[in-house]
Each structure stands twice: as structure tokens, then as C-alpha cells.
Structure 1
Amino acid sequence: MITSVLVANRGEIACRIFRTCRELGIRTVAVHSDADANALHARVADAAVRLPGAAPAETYLRGDLIVKAALASGADAVHPGYGFLSENADFARAVIDAGLLWIGPPPEAIEAMASKTRAKQLLGLTPLQDVTEADLPVLVKAAAGGGGRGMRIVRRLQDLDAELAAARAEALAAFGDDEVFVEPYIEAGRHVEVQVLADTHGTVWALGTRDCSLQRRHQKVIEEAPAPGLKLELTESLHETAVRAARAVGYTGAGTVEFLVADDKAHFLEMNTRLQVEHPVTEAIFDIDLVALQLRVAEGHTLEADPPRARGHAIEARLYAEDPSQDWAPQTGTLHRLTAPEGIRLDTGYTDGDEIGVHYDPMLAKLIAHAPTRAEAIRKLAGALQRTTLHGPTTNRDLLVRSLRHKEFTTARMDTGFYDRHLGELTEPAPDPYVPLAAALSDAHTRSRFGAWRNVPSQPQSKRYAMAGEEYEAQYWQTREGLRAEGVRVVHADAGLVVLEIEGVQRKFEIACYGDQLYVGNTALTALPRFPTPTTEHAPGSLLAPMPGTVVRVAEGLAVGAPVRAGEPLVWLEAMKMQHQISAPTTGTLTALHAALGQQVQVGTLLAVVTATP
């Protein structure tokens, strides 16, 4: 009987596992890097153990330190979560050899499936060996791990070597294994997967299908269960293949078999020998707790002969701290507030006031909606996302809402190229013109309480704000009867709420301030000074860091005076476990190079300057 579980992970998945453990009366133990000393998962656990290490992300790859932490804390079982060491057979063996219970499949099963190349061979499939023009486009993938790390699309043969190198570096940083392979890239396929659960007595459940086709950088954004629109014969075939793969390696516990579906044919991708990020949608339709079932299987309990029946439809959306309109650039800063409406499941590893740094994946939270039908689940989740209070770094929340309401998604005609086709329209700014006015009226009310200024009735007061990259001016009058603005009636205005009547309809604008940051609803504004401070101007052709991160690579042989082509990669930054290449903005000559290997940079740091060819 398990009495104490150490979770060899962090963030959202650690908090989610701890939740089930608490419900079952099991003591919880967290591990944390120095950067995570005050992280939510370390705070909510019954005990926490520091993992020493210079690089925060690499700390969670130190299996020896995690085993020592489990023994020192009195844990009798280890749950790996997802990512990091969750699919590392050597770590599983180390846990078992230390006399601890491993909440996962046997090391031999992990070993057989952890390498995507070996998994394909097990099912009679082989990766591409010598890539030619006829094979293009191809996909470079990390043999270990997932989550989009170590994955690159190659459309030109001359780019293959560079993309292989980048994929290896990313895979090594994320999984401690730089093995990669190449396979054909299917442009318009759907990503469909089957959740399996197996006990130690020979029972294997296929718990329906999930569709995870909406992806950016090969990492899932929206997932749902069941996968809509699949023919019954195809669904049964997917289930049979998934069960066959699990039985072939003597699998136990929770796992996922992934496929790419195109033209009603399924192409095997991989088997993930762990719990998936998107497991909540399966839990919702089957009314089960997969973590609790993992614990039961690890204790040796037997599953029922048949799995429960699925009911309804569930959809999950991942909230990322990133700007989709800026090539998905990760964002950092303080998460001031995150609350979701009732009736929606919110899984997160953050709470109000936490800092979003550069060391880990940018996912902030997952919102999950369950309803009797797919259409109702879509409506429920889109509405909940709109009503979720989210004050902090820029996120993909608006993109998620628009994606859920896009006709291609609502009619289940999406595929993995969805964002390649629609990102522009989905990120088109749609500013509310009344938001700056509401901010200005709230500010006017606050200042007028202290008698800080007097207004000339014939002249309006004016406030300027930056919103969504643009500047806006709001004008109003302060009269003896109160605040007034052109074209609207000011019903109410105070520091936290402004109510405007616009063409007979009253609208409410909630106001929140955090130091110099202002939010009207979920829209972030920056008050602009009346007399702006001159800003530093960079020369044309300057390459500025689009995000905070670390310089992990500079193009080989790059030096001042070298000729460069427009679009040529010059510098690579690593942020939130992903590499981002910074390319030459124009064809010309490199006239300055400030980026240095290992350098920590902030947004706007000057990396290099390319002077255009006359």
C-alpha cells in the first residue's frame, strides 16, 4: 500500500498528482530547483526537497538526486509526471533498485518505446535513412521525449544539416538524449491518439480517442475527446493497434499511442510511456481519475475486464505565456491574477503573484470543459476562456477563443496545418475603443478624490495609452454633475469599475492596477507620459532579442564584415526549453556582432547589426 509519493516533476503536473494523492490520503513530496524554491508545487506538497544544480531545467534530469530525495523524505513511491525523466528507463530502474515503487510501466517497456525509432521497428516500420529531394518535406524528430522539442520541418535539402543540429541540441537540453530521426511529413493530417491503461494481470483498456490536431511548433494547443468524425472501422483499428503495441512490450500503467490520420488511414507516430498533458479530457468523458488508476495499478490491483463507457465530449485548451502574433515568442513577468469560471476544470502550477521565468515550458494552465455534445463543449470552453481573469504576461488566450469558434474547428475539418493557414486572421488585433476611455475615467475618479487638479469646463482632459502595440487617446470632462465623455453616458466610475451606457446599452469595465500595470477586463494598457522620454534608436538592420533568453549558438564563422543573406539564421536563443533562431532582416554585411555564446539577454537587447547592400 502506497503511503507517500514523491513526484519527480514540477509545475502543473506535480500539482495535479498531489491533488489525487491528497484525496486518497497519501503523503506528498515535491522536489524543486533553486529557481522553483517558491513554486506552487513546492508549497502545496507535504514535504519538499531542494535539488542542487546550476541550470534549473537540467536539475530535474538528475535522477540520482531525485532517488536520494525520495529516500531522505521517506517516500515509498515515485511518480514521474510527464516530460523530464518520465520516459527514461534508467531512471525507472534506479527507482526500483532503491527499493521504491515506480508508478509507471516496466523499464523494459519504456526502453522499447522511449526511442521512437525502436518503437517503429517494433511495429515493422523504419525511419528514412538517406533523404533526397523526392522525400521532401520531412520531419526531424527527437527519438526520446516529445512536446515539440527536437522537432523540425525541413522543406529544402540544404537546410537538413542545420535543422538536424538544432533538433539534437534541443533534444539534449530537454531529455538528456540527442538522438533524432527523419520521417515523411504529412501536410494535412490529423493528430489522433488512443489512451491505454494496463494492469499487471494482463488487462489492457483502450480508453477512446483524442484529437490533438491544433498545434504550434508541433506542440498541442487544443485537445478533445473523442476525436470527432472518425469512421467506426478506423476507430476500432486505432484501438486494436494501441492495445497490440501495449501488449507487445508488456506494458502496465497509463500510456498513449499516437497516430497521424490522413485520408481515413492511420500512420503510427509513437507510444508515450507516461501520462499525457491532455489526459483530463479522457478523464472527463469516462468519469475516471487516471492518476488514481495509475496508483492502483502500481499497487497490483486488477482492472475490470471492460473499461467504463464514455459519455459526452470534452475539450482542453492550453494557456501559454506567449505572443502568437510574434512567432509565438515566450513571455515572462508576474502572473498577477488567474481565475476561471465555475464549472470549468482549471489545472495549473501557478497562483497569483508567481513569476513566469525563462527556464521552463511557457504553459500557464489548462482549462477543460465537458458537455453532452461537442458543440456544447466548444461553446462552454470558449465562453469560459473569455470570462477567465488573466492579468500578467501576454498569452494565447484570445487565439484559443478564436480557434474554438473558427468554422474549420467547429465543423471538425481541422488538421495539423491549422495555424499555418489561419494564424494571421486569428491574431488580427480587435481593440475595444471604449477600453482606454474606461481607464481614463477610472483614473480621473481616483485623482479627483484627492483634489489634485481642476478642470477647465470648456476643454477636455486627455489621457494617452498604449494598447495592443498602438497608441490611443481618451478625452473626458469633469463637471459639477460628474464625469462626462462624448458619445456615451458615464453611469458609474471608480477605481475598480466603470459603467458606460453606449447607445442605450450599459457595459461594465472592471479595472485592476498592479503598480504601473493597468488592466481593463483582460486588456493590458500602459499609461503614456504627457511628455515622452526619448528612447534609444537602433540603426536599420539591427537584430534585437525578441524575448529574454540565453544565446546558445552563433552561426559558424560569423564575424564582422561577413556577407549575409536576408533570412539567414545568425543567432539562436533558448527560452522556455525551446530554441528560437534570429535571422538577418536584409541582405548585406554584418557590421556589428554583440551576441556571445552563453550570454543572458533581455527583450530588446542588441544582438547584431546588418547593413543593407546599397
Structure 2
Amino acid sequence: MFKRVLIANRGEVALRIIQACRKLKIETVAIYAKVEENSRFVQAADFTYCVGPNTAQSSYLNREGILMAALLSGADAIHPGYGFLAEDALFAEMCAECDLTFIGPKPAMIRLMADKAAAKNYAKTQGVPIIPGASAITSANQLKQAAQAVGYPVMLKASLGGGGKGMRVIYNEAHLQQKYHLIQEEAQQTFLNDAIYLEKYLTVARHIEVQILKDHVGNLQIVGDRECSLQLNHQKVVEESSATILQPQQRQQLYDLAKRLLAKLDYCGLGTLEFLFANQQFYFLEMNTRLQVEHGVTELTSGIDLVTTQIKLAAGQTVRPGILPFSGHAIEVRLNAQADAKQHLLATGKLTQFCFSATERIDTGYQKNDIIQPYYDALLAKLIVSATTREQAIAKMQQTLKHTHVTGVGTNLATLSQILNSPAYNANQIDIHFLEQMEGAVQ
């Protein structure tokens, strides 16, 4: 087992990794931007190193600075968390060159799955269904022909995209060329690569995920599934475990697809396979080769500590192959700092009040009187509840939201309460467009 782990991240996920390392009696090293030197995760770590002034680019994306901190601190492994460098194959390679264990899969696996178009092409070769579309688009004419072939509406996506960036829905040919160039520019600016692909836009679909663990000898363990259909601007807002829409035979079909996709991959670590479920068919979307933001709901229904298990896998331990049983139902909502209810702009300022129900799981990197900076993501806290049934879990979350009080910055708390009290949500009559339609109805 590792002696000392550097955490190449910040906020609540850094605290979550520190918690896991303490369970394993591993010392922790926090890196931080100067502007966050008094943050909870910095105070909680055994050792700390400043790697930059404020922006993500100058700190949490500073590969060389992070590696220098790891070497100076005597760390023998690096946990990337999620976001930032978590799916950066180059960073994983640099870790190996410095004799540091990257807590994640091999760089080749990260590189394959980071390219969404390449990942889908690989899935197709393994007999896993993908949404009809076209990749390696290099001209507007080629794009036009591909769109005509699959039929409108279509979705344009950056091949190296993620986090909801580099995506546009196209409903007709009129603005196709204009959107094509906008996507290219956005992809180049955000991901330093302007490659895009096109796929059929599904008007009614559910977003379903499968959590997997695979060890270095090839044992594959499936740790349940999640429902992540409630999204705004392709960012998840509410997540559940399990996906109660699935019948037993559908769940088995989903797991069989996961096994088929991973069977020939030299993959070791934790990962998530994402699918769209439409017309009784599963379509592979992508694989995230890292810890998911919503991992907590799976932990509550499976009883597994996914972060400690992820660390153990990186240290060479194995898992029992098969499908892990799960029970009960868990729901997570993402409480975000939000300045504008319609445009979802990041709110900044001082948290003058930051109070939650003491009975549920609250994953947060903040505390009262903290300053919300403009440099990072909007996530303030993840509120997670579990119960025997979905109906009971919804009731618990409704109460949790009632006892949540945040002042000093704007939040999406009212939107979360609206979702949890929606008759359609309570009846499980949702899809990936549900929140957009709900917002449209309110406006």
C-alpha cells in the first residue's frame, strides 16, 4: 500500500480522498492555489504545497508544479479526483516518468476513452450499440451529408469534449455550417483540438450509468447503475442509484454490454460507462476513466467505499468478479452557486450562512464565511440521502432541502426543491430533456 498520496485536486473531492486515505492509514499531500490557502481541504491534509496563484490553469492544471510538489513531499502516488487532470493521459505518463503511481488506468486507456469518437468506434467493433452518426468530420460538405444521412435533429460534439462543453443541437440545415465553425472554435479553445463528430439527437431518452471496478488480472466487478437524466446544459443536477426505470432483464442486458465493452481492454481501476436508453435500446455514450462526482449514491446502495477501493486497485489489490448486489435507493442533488436563475452564471461572494440537515450525507469543501471564488466550478455541496424505496428517498431529500440555508451567494436551491416536488419527477416520468422543458415552462 502507498505511504503518501498527493491529491491533485481541490474542494470536496480532495476532502473525500483525504477521508479515504485516513481509512487506509495513508498520509496525504494537498496542493492548492494561493487564493485557497485557508480552505478546509488544505487544513485537513498532512502536508501542503502551493502550486499557483488563483486560476485553474496556473494551479490545478499546472502539471510540472504538481509533480514537483509530489517529489518534494515524498509522495509515492497521485490521486487526480475528477475534473482538472483526472483524464489527462499526458499527466499520467508524466507521473510514470517520475516513478509516481497515477491512481487511475493506464495512459493508453485514458487516451482511448478521452476521445469520445474513438471510444464509440471501439464500442462498435465490440458489438456495443452506439447512436447513429459520423466521426472524423473535416469539412462542412461532409457534415451536411452526414446530417442528411442520419436525419435531423442531430448533435454536434467536440471529440475530446466533456463537462457539457463543445455541444450543439441542430434542428435543420439552415444554421448547420455556422454551428459547425462555432463548435470547432469552442473545441479548439477548450480542448486544444478542433475535431468534432455528429450523432442523431434522441428526443426522448434516459441517461443510465454503470459503475465498474477492474483489477490488474482482469477481474471485473459491476457495482450497480445510476440514473443521471436530470441535466441542464449537459451538466448533471440530480442523480440516483439505482436506475429504477430498468426491469431485471434490461439491467442484465446493460451489464452484459458493459462486460462486452471491457472484455478486451487492458483496463485497471475504477470507471463509469454511460449509456442513453431510448426505445428499449441502450446506446453507448462514453466511458469516464475516473471517479464520478455522483459516486456517493452508489456507495450508499452498494455498501462499498469506492475511493478506498480505487486506491487499493492502484496498489495492486484485486476485486471479486461478478455483479455486486445493491439495496435501497439513494438520491444526490448538486447545490451550486448560481447568480442568475435563467443563465446559470456562477455566483461569487462570502457564505454568510451555510447550514444543512445534520442527519444526511453532505459532501462539501466549504464552510460558513468562505469566499466563493470566480476561478473554479459552481459546486457548493452534494446533498445525498438514502432510504428503502425511491419514494422514501424523495421524501427525505425534500426535508433535507427544507433544512438547507445558504446566504451570501445565489444558489439553485429553489430549482432543486421545484424538481423534488414535481409530480412528473415523483412519478419517474423524466428524460434527458426534462429540466430544459421545466425551465421553459417557468419562463
Give the TM-score of the pair, scaled to structure 1.
Answer: 0.66
Mapping of residues 289-438 of structure 1, within 5 Å: 289-323=305-339, 325-424=341-440
Supply the distance in 1 between the matched residues of 2:33 and 2:193 (Cα, whole angstroms).
21
What is aligned with 1:131?
143
Structure 2 counterpart of 1:30, which letter? A
1:473-517 Cα distance to aligned partner (Å, 9 max, x none): xxxxxxxxxxxxxxxxxxxxxxxxxxxxxxxxxxxxxxxxxxxxx
Kindly tell me: are residues 252 and 260 of structure 1, through their superposed partners in 2, closer, same or farther at Cα, counting changes over 3 Å? Answer: same
Over residues 308-361 of structure 1, what are the superposed CA-to-partner deviations in whole Å (9 max), with x where a residue is unaligned?
420100010000111563222221111123222122111112111111122111
Q: How far apart in 1 are the matches of 2:282 and 2:321?
A: 27
Letter in 2 for 1:67: L
Number of residue pairs aligned between Structure 1 and Structure 2: 427
Note if contact 1:112-1:249 (Cα within 8 Å) is conserved in structure 2.
no
Matches of 2:188 and 2:36, distance apart in 1: 22
Q: What is the aligned partner in structure 2 of residue 152 from structure 1?
A: 168
What amino acid does structure 2 have at the position aligned with 1:153? Answer: V
Matching residue's letter, 1:151? M
Identity of aligned residues (%): 40
Which of 298, 315, 326 aligns to 1:282? It is 298
User: Which residue number in structure 2 is paired with residue 17 of structure 1?
Assistant: 17
Q: In 1, are the aligned partners of 2:341 and 2:412 still within 8 Å (CA)?
A: no
Pairwise CA RMSD: 2.1
- Amino acid in structure 2 at the alignment position of 1:201: V
Structure 1, residues 211-255: CA drift from partner, whole Å, max 9, x if none? 101100001000001111212222112111122222332111110
Q: Contact 1:324/1:399 (CA < 8 Å) preserved in 2?
A: no
**Matched residue, 1:110:** 110
Indicate if the aligned counterparts of 2:222 and 2:324 stay in contact, CA closer than 8 A.
no
Structure 1 residues 49-101: Cα deviation after superposition (integer angstroms, max 9, x where no partner): 12236743453222222111111111111011111111111111111121111
Q: What's the counterpart of residue 77 of structure 1?
A: 77
| Structure with greater strand percent | 1
Q: Which moved more, 1:208-217 or 1:177-186?
A: 177-186
Q: Which has the higher helix share?
A: 2
Query: Aligned in 2, Cα 1:73/1:366: closer, same or farther, shift over 3 Å?
Result: same
- C-alpha displacement of 1:307: 4.6
Distance 1:173 1:315 in 2: 35
243-252 or 122-131, which moves further after superposition?
122-131
Larger radius of gyration between Structure 1 and Structure 2: 1
Distance 2:221 2:340 in 1: 37
Distance 2:272 2:264 in 1: 14
Q: Which protein has greater RCO, CA pairs closer than 8 Å, 6+ apart?
A: 2
Is the Cα–Cα contact under 8 Å of residues 11 and 364 in structure 2 kept in the other structure? yes
Q: Which shows bigger deviation, 363-372 or 163-172?
A: 163-172
Cα distance in 1 for residues equivalent to 2:229 and 2:279: 15
Aligned pairs for 1:219-258 within 5 A = 219-258=235-274
Deviations 1:545-589 (Å, cap 9, x if unpaired)? xxxxxxxxxxxxxxxxxxxxxxxxxxxxxxxxxxxxxxxxxxxxx
**For the Cα contact (< 8 Å) 2:224–2:323, is it kept in 1?**
no
Cα distance change of structure 1 residues 371 and 174 upon mapping to structure 2, 3 Å threshold: farther
Q: Is the 8 A contact 2:349 2:373 kept in 1?
A: yes
**Shift in CA distance, 170/6, structure 1 to aligned 2, threshold 3 Å:** farther
CA separation of 1:152 and 1:311: change in aligned 2, threshold 3 A: same
CA distance in 1, matches of 2:340, 2:434: 13
TM-score of the pair, normalised by structure 2: 0.90
Cα distance in 1 for residues equivalent to 2:432 and 2:14: 29
